[in-house]
Amino acid sequence: MPVPLSLPVIDISPFLGPLSSSPDSLQARKDTAARLHDACTNTGFFFITGFESVVSADEMRESLDVARQFFGRPDGEKDKLRIKKGDGARGWQKIGQNVTQYKADWHEGWDAYKPLPPDEEDANKLLHGPNQWPDEPSTFRPVLERWIEKMHILGFALMAATAMALGIDVDSDAEDWQTIKQWVADPFWVMRTIGYPPLPEDAEGISCGAHKDYGNWTLLHADATQGALQAFLLDPSGPSTENGERGHWINADPLPNSFVVNIGEMVEVYSAGLYKATLHRVVHKSPSYRVSIPFFYEPSFNARIEPLPSALKLREKLGLPPSSAIKPVIYGDFLRSKVSNNFSHDDE
């Protein structure tokens, strides 16, 4: 199948709000799930719309506004929130401090994670510190705390929609749906606010190096800048890239009032490889200062994620070979091993 030139747009509204069991509502959920299945198998990147009952257009604007205002504060002020060893990866990173594939990324970021209680054995254990909220702008914290709550609603809706896409009867509370709900009973989350100045010609890395996201779903809210985020669509007849995969980079330019959604590695595991985590990167060369807020809706820290029986069955039905390379993962262990590769601490 040729690589699509644009990404699918999926209306998620049938999975939001009290889910009615009327035949029309059920059919609407089935249609959305079918579209999601196609998007997850063909591109791994798509847009969602139809979430106004959860996030308003004003809230979409406000979240980017507070992030932009924060990045506009003097570096000396932001530096007080700098991520240091022992901070648990939470706080501000100046340009060059985030590292992807051993190369410095050309962005600054403020990162927050679900609060975790201090680790009794190791006070410096990665990811166990408190979030370092800025005082200025004063709206930053309330706006983004409300944002985090809302992203949980959308993240859960995506879990339900994909469960249905994998052939799981969510409406009759099938066993695999109970398993999924348990995996996200106390979901971990990560939120980054990222500021991208234009990439200089002589930068060593790019704005954000090519990577896959780690968890379930990434809900990305970015400003209107075009030509920055790119997704790698696999294509066996396409050119080979530095990471050995064949395919094409296509632009994932934001659409107004939508989220860009992409698959994380945990969905790849539980879907038995049917839905693959998609490689993506940011190359921002236009003169604007780009702001984005990726939210990562993750499994519970201690969840053991493994291929779901329904996904294995679906693979068989689709005539695909068994996915023996996919092994169960404890999400928190996996995340820690990934995050520890993402920093260059200048104060170690």
Ligand X SMILES: O=C(O)CCC(=O)C(=O)O
Nearest CA to 109 among 128, 81, 135?
81
Give residues 2-31 in contact with Fe ion (rule: CB under 5 A): none
Tell the smallest beta-carbon distance from residue 295 to ligand X (Å).
Answer: 10
Binding mask 88-127 toward ligand X (x if CB under 6 A, else -) reads: ----------------------------------------
| Torsion sign across C-alpha atoms 28, 157, 56, 63 | negative
Round to whole Å and give the CA distance between 266 and 219. 15
Instruction: Using alpha carbons, select from 193, 226, 257 the residue that is nearest to residue 60.
Output: 257
Closest CB to ligand X belongs to which residue? 292
Q: How far apart are CA 273 and CA 166, in angstroms?
A: 11
Distance from C-alpha of 154 to C-alpha of 163, rounded to nearest angstrom: 14
Count, residues near ligand X per rule CB under 6 A: 11
Does 220 engage in binding with ligand X (CB under 6 A)?
A: yes
What, of Fe ion, ligand X, none, does residue 291 touch, CB below 5 to 8 Å by kind?
Answer: none
Q: How far is the CB of 98 from Fe ion (least distance, A)?
A: 11
Q: What is the contact mask toward ligand X in residues 151 to 190, using x (rule: CB under 6 A)? A: ----------------------------------------
190 burial level (CB within 10 Å; 0-12, 13-18, 19+): buried
- Closer Cβ to ligand X, 29 or 280, answer by number: 280
Give the span between the Cα atoms of 101 and 124, in whole angstroms. Answer: 24
Give the one entry of Fe ion, ligand X, none that residue 278 binds, where binding means its C-beta sits below a cut-off of 5 to 8 angstroms depending on kind.
Answer: none
Q: Does 223 bind ligand X (CB under 6 A)?
A: no
Among ligand X, Fe ion, none, the one that 266 touches (CB under a kind-dependent 5 to 8 A) is none
CB of 119 to Fe ion, least distance (A): 26
- Does residue number 108 form part of the binding site for Fe ion (CB under 5 A)? no
Rounded Cα distance between 67 and 91, Å, is 13
Binding mask 199-218 for Fe ion (x = CB under 5 A): --------------x-----
Choice from 229, 272, 277, 335 touching ligand X (CB under 6 A)? 229
Site for ligand X in 200-219 (CB under 6 A): 208, 213
Radius of gyration (Cα) for the chain, nearest Å? 20
Instruction: Tell me how far, at minimum, the Cβ of 133 lies from ligand X, in Å.
Output: 19
> How far is the C-alpha of 227 from the C-alpha of 286, rounded, in Å?
8
Residues 264-323 within binding reach of ligand X (CB under 6 A): 280, 282, 292, 294
Please say which residue, 177 or 259, places its beta carbon nearer to ligand X: 259
Q: Outline where DSSP puts E strands in 94-228.
A: 99-100, 103-104, 108-113, 187-196, 208-211, 217-222
Element (H, E) at 292: strand 290-300
36 binds, among Fe ion, ligand X, none (CB under 5 to 8 A by kind): none
Q: Is 260 exposed, middle or buried (0-12, 13-18, 19+ CB in 10 A)?
A: buried
Residue with Cβ nearer Fe ion (211 or 313): 211
DSSP annotation of 135 reads: S
7 binding ligand X? (CB under 6 A)? no
| Per CB under 6 A, 194 contacts ligand X | yes
Task: Output 81 or 210, the one with its CB closest to ligand X.
Answer: 210
Would you count residue 87 as binding Fe ion (CB under 5 A)? no
Tell me how many degrees the CA angle 24-29-30 measures, rounded to the nearest 5. Answer: 95
Tell me the C-alpha distance between 158 and 296, whole Å: 12
DSSP H stretches of helix in the chain:
23-42, 57-71, 75-78, 140-165, 175-183, 265-270, 309-317, 331-339
Q: Are 209 and 124 in contact (CB under 8 A)?
A: no
Q: What are the residues binding ligand X (CB under 6 A)?
A: 192, 194, 208, 213, 220, 222, 229, 280, 282, 292, 294
Write out the residues near Fe ion by the rule CB under 5 A.
Answer: 213
